[in-house]
Amino acid sequence: MTRWGPPGGGPGGPPPPRPPSAWRGGRGGAVDANDAVASFSSRGPTADNLVVKPDITAPGVDITAAVAPDSAIAREYGEQPPGYATISGTSMATPHVAGAAALLKQQHPGWKSAELKAALVAGARPVGAGAFAEGGGRVDVAAAIGQTVVSEPTAVAFARQSYPHADDAPVTKQLTYRNLGSEPVALDLSAAGVGPDGKPAPADMFTLDAQRLTVPANGTATVGLTADTRPGGDLDGVYTGTVTARGTGQTVRTTAAVEREIETYDVTVRHLGTDGEPATDYWPSLFGLTGLGVAGHDYSTASRTGTYTARLPKGVYFLDAIITDEDGTDSRITAPHFEVTGNTTVTLDARTAKPMDITGPDPAAERVYAEMFTELTTPEFNTSTGIADQSFAKLRSAQLGPDFSTEGTLYQEFNALDINDTKEYRFSYGGKVTRLATGFARTAKQAEMADISTALGATVADKQGMVVARAIVPDVFGSIITAGVMRPLPVATTTYVTTEGNDWVIGLDQYDDTGSYPELSHGTGIQHYEAGRSYGRDLGVGVFGPGLEAIEGVSRNGDSLTGCLTPLRDSTGNWSYAYEDTLTATLYRDGVEVASTPDLLGCWNAVTVPAEPGDFRLTATATRGGPSAAPTEVSAAWTFTSGHTTAEEALPVSVVRFTPRLGLDSTAEAGAVTRVPVSVLGAAAGKNLKSLTVEVSHDGKTWTKAKVAKGAFLVRNPAAGQSVSLRAVVVDKQGNTLTQTILHAYRTK
């Protein structure tokens, strides 16, 4: 039995798929503000989940700093100029604060971490962003060095005041000022607040019990700060305050916060098993959909008694639970539109759930996988939950309450897999709904399915793998569970798929020798199949080489150059990805290196280049070993001219694809003559091709020119156990070039 959608709730679901391309890399986040948050390691005051953070901010956007050449961070962000990288985020803000603390420590060697923190926060310069965005303000090391008076603590958090507020009681906390100097300091004190609407809070929301205070030399003085939430009227939410102390040319600001709980009620959720007793095994989910400040929040609370109570603001929620009986039966009970307007109790009763099933067209086939999947997407968040088993025998479902009517999308999907020898039947029914299924029954007919002959290749002997398939429905992410049956590779199979309202991604996972994880994967991309029709799909059969399809290529937008190229597609253009792949890419302009990183061709990474026209050279190399015998290396070098553009434009790059008829193990007969079709894709394709030169090698070192005629050339294969390497040089009519080499493109036997 499998369940997902994290225990206790939380937007999530099955793990994301691996990237379908080898020349693709990760992407770092961006920061929009001029400062990034830099918090000290010590936690600020907390009460009822209210935390006054950050402590302080510092410059953190587009900061250029020295990096070690060829270090991990240099490879990730690139070096512009060499030895430096420009990065945004807390990784750049934190060094500013650390440096300020070091300077302060140098000035005051006897100060401990508490004094250093307090002085930095006290000397910070507010920029008007609010306590929860900037803390004390932007770091000002010059002011901090001259600071002799600090506050303890640097921020004050008051306990949340529960709704309703007529009986709220004022709360007072002590604020201490410490004088680190040798002379007494007289302070003038004032307090002011800001409401959740950004406007000034009532004058009596935050008050002090003294307006003037003298702090003795090397001593302390204390003042009481009171938060009174009764004056808030009808405006609920978090109020922030600032206590300002001025004296002897220095200012100390201390932030404060208190929350007037918005209209909120106690909601008790009960979970009953099929025996009517409180459940002891269940997964609860409770997400806010609409209402003041609730959208996207997770309110789930787990217990072992079958009951939990959540304090929920007035609004609409998605309420869900998977209740498991002692015999392993999973009952999924969902209230997709659960409205909270007062204190209430709701019961999720497994006895209301109904069974589900999909009947396939082959009575001799064995059911090996069954799944019900639900996805909820709103403008604020998304979440997915599901239940799965070897069959539907122990899976049940029910909807509770009214239909889903909130802004967003509710989607439900039922999937199953049947196996009969080398035949696989994959069923997927689903779509956008306003009401979730209470039970489900469907009979699949052969005429409603497409059959796909799938040849599953492997370039290494004694490997095993499985067909993986995922239904794709427009405008939803959908389930990514791709169940399959392990088979010895290579092998030919037939996959039947339903065609009702969905497309499919068909793939092959080749597993490691222990069968623990897929070490090599191939996939078709999204394909549409018609009912009653037959298709052929070869997966993992060479020659492997660069692809140039869909969004792939190199483009320029203004002075930003982005690459997106796949170096190891199989002979029919399917993507291919192995964990052992190693990648490098380097860009030159007028002979000078601009950037060098594995992520340079990663589809999401951009390189800034000068606006003036220049001659570019882009090189890339991908190596593959371990789970694959062919190829061992694919390399390419492109040259082109480019200057500033006013919009995104594709740059003139091309690739060459070789498609000889090989066995499912990507081998050819030793000593035989093999005809190798060759095609040019990209900028030099068709009538724009000026010249194509092809060379062949049996050792990867000595090359012989091949005669290309009618889109193909002939190769005399070497002795058994050896290999054929291929090289192509392309020139288009504008003078742009490609040199592409595939070492050990195929082997002989």
Rounded-to-integer distance, Cα 608 and Cα 62, Å: 13
Per-residue pLDDT tens over the stretch 274-290: 999 999 999 999 999 98
Map residue 100 onto helix, strand or coil.
Answer: helix
Q: What's the mean pLDDT when you consider all of the chain? A: 88
Sequence letter at residue 649: E
CB 68, CB 77: distance < 8 Å:
no
Greater confidence, 361 or 382?
Answer: 361
Tokens of 310: 């959540």
Residue 227 · residue 170 · CB < 8 Å = yes
Q: Phi-psi bin for 334: left (phi > 0), alpha (psi -120 to 50), beta? A: beta
Q: Is 116 helix (H, G, I), strand (E, B) or coil?
A: helix
Give the Cα separation of 367 and 335 in Å (integer).
30
Average pLDDT over residues 446-454: 95
Residues 71-127 pLDDT 10s: 777 767 777 788 888 888 888 888 889 998 999 999 899 888 888 998 899 888 888
CB 683 within 8 A of CB 732: yes
Q: How many Cβ atoms sit within 10 Å of the Cβ of residue 347?
A: 14
Backbone angles phi, psi at 22, to 5 degrees: -85, -35
Q: At 517, is the secondary structure helix, strand, or coil?
A: coil
Mean pLDDT is highest, among 4-8, 199-203, 441-445, 572-576, for 441-445
pLDDT at residue 452 is higher than 60: yes
At position 43, the amino acid (one-letter code) is R
Q: Give the pLDDT of residue 18.
A: 31
Query: Which has the closest alpha carbon to 387: 330, 325, 318, 317?
Result: 330
For residue range 375-408, list pLDDT tens digits in order.
999 888 888 888 999 999 999 999 999 999 988 9
Q: Are strands 534-539 and 449-456 parallel, antiparallel or unpaired?
A: parallel
666 Ramachandran zone, left/alpha/beta (phi>0; psi -120 to 50): left
Peptide bond into 19 cis (omega under 30): no
Adjacent-strand bridge partners of 465: 487, 510
Q: How many CB atoms lie within 10 A of CB 214?
A: 13
- Taking residues 660-683, report their average pLDDT: 96
Instruction: Look at residue 48 and tell me whether its pLDDT is greater than 90.
Output: no
Residue 408: which region, alpha, beta or left (left: phi > 0; alpha: psi -120 to 50)? left
**Over 90: is that where the pLDDT of 41 sits?**
no
Task: Spell out the residues 6+ positions from residue 79 whose beta carbon is closer than 8 angstroms to its own.
Answer: 67, 69, 85, 595, 596
- Which of 309, 323, 317, 386 lies closest to 353, judged by CA? 323
What's residue 550's pLDDT? Answer: 64
- Write out the two tokens for 151: 């506050």
pLDDT at 12 over 60: no
Q: Which of 14-23, 172-181, 614-623 comes out lowest in average pLDDT?
A: 14-23
Residue 414 corresponds to which tokens in the numbers above?
Answer: 């039922």
Provide the pLDDT for residue 14.
35
Q: What is the mean pLDDT of residues 514-531?
A: 92
* SS3 per-residue string spanning 159-180: CCECCCCCCCCCEEEEEEEEEC
CA gap 385, 722 in Å, rounded = 51
Between strands 487-489 and 503-511, the pairing is unpaired
Is residue 673 classed exposed, middle or buried when 0-12, 13-18 and 19+ CB atoms within 10 A define those classes? exposed
Which SS3 state, helix, strand or coil, does residue 603 take? strand
Model confidence at 438: pLDDT above 90:
yes
Q: Provide mean pLDDT across the span 365-373.
A: 95
**For the packed helices 113-122 and 90-107, what is the interaxial angle rounded to 10 degrees?**
110
Instruction: Please count the other Cβ atoms lying within 10 Å of the Cβ belonging to residue 128.
Output: 7
Write the DSSP string, 630-672. S-SEEEEEEEEEE---SSEEE---EEEEE-----TTSEE-TT-
Total length of the chain: 749
Q: Does position 564 have pLDDT exceeding 90, yes or no?
A: no
Share of the chain above pLDDT 70, in %: 93
* 104 sits in which H/E element: helix 90-107
